[in-house]
Amino acid sequence: MPIRLLLSLALACAVGLAQAAGEPEFALTIRDHKFTPAEVRIPANTKVKLVVDNQDATPEEFDSHALNREKVIAGKSKATVFIGPLAPGRYSFMGEFHADTAQGIVVAQ
């Protein structure tokens, strides 16, 4: 019984990992500790890929409690953040290291 349970878990993991798909891609830039665009419109109920280009020399953390994401992006580098599928609505995010200026919102519609 325990062995079958472990094998089932392993199989579920393998199947899940094989389910990678091409998600719609959206670009987001960090410059002078601000997000551009500050509002990202994405299709509702669809998983999307945000490609975040940090053009500042310092690292930033894409942080969103609503989206359940925390991702550190080194200075002068890009990172991918997968979000969704989201119900229609507005989901705020910020750059945690410069929260006074780095604010944005994802609008799922």
Residues that bind other proteins (CB under 8 A): 1-3, 6, 9, 13, 16-17, 19-20, 47, 59, 61, 65-66, 68-72, 74, 79-84, 87, 96-97, 99
Cβ nearer to other proteins, comparing 45 with 109: 45
CB atoms within 10 A of CB 97: 15
C-alpha span between 90 and 107 (Å, rounded)? 5
Look at residue 5 and give its three-state secondary structure: helix
Structure tokens given for 37: 């665009």
Cβ nearer to other proteins, comparing 13 with 38: 13
Cβ nearer to other proteins, comparing 27 with 72: 72
